[in-house]
Amino acid sequence: MPHSPEEKKKVLARVKRIRGQCDALERALEAGADCNPVLQQIAAIRGAVNGLMSEVMEAHLREEFGQPARSEAQRTARVTEMSALIRSYLK
């Protein structure tokens, strides 16, 4: 998950970007960069990781709720699962 090719592509592109940011941070640290720009790079990575988490949750939402539920039980199960994801990761 996410299963559709476009969702997967978007999410993978974000992961690759975060790895690129880690590479740049490693080079900055090796080169003895100052504390301030290093912290800025780390804050940018933190923002990118939050964006990735949001993207995965949104993809899950689209995939789960983009089609009508086949039954009342399935609808309830979807809502319960999505609710648990929000509770776990919204912090």
Binding residues (CB under 8 A) for a copy of itself: these are 1-3, 8, 11-12, 15-16, 18-19, 22-23, 25-26, 29-30, 32-36, 38-39, 42-43, 45-47, 49-50, 52-54, 56-58, 60-62, 65-66, 68-69, 75-76, 78-79, 82-83, 85-91
What does the alpha-carbon distance between residue 55 and residue 48 come to, in Å, rounded to a whole number? 10
Q: Give whichever of 6 and 45 is closer to a copy of itself, judged by the CB atom.
A: 45
Q: How far apart are CA 42 and CA 36, in angstroms?
A: 10
CB of 77 to a copy of itself, least distance (A): 11
The residue among 65, 66, 88, 59 whose CA lies nearest residue 77 is 65
- Least CB distance from residue 43 to a copy of itself, whole Å? 6
Output the smallest distance, CB 10 to a copy of itself, in A: 11
Token readout for 35 is 């504390």
CA 57 to CA 61: how far, in whole Å? Answer: 6
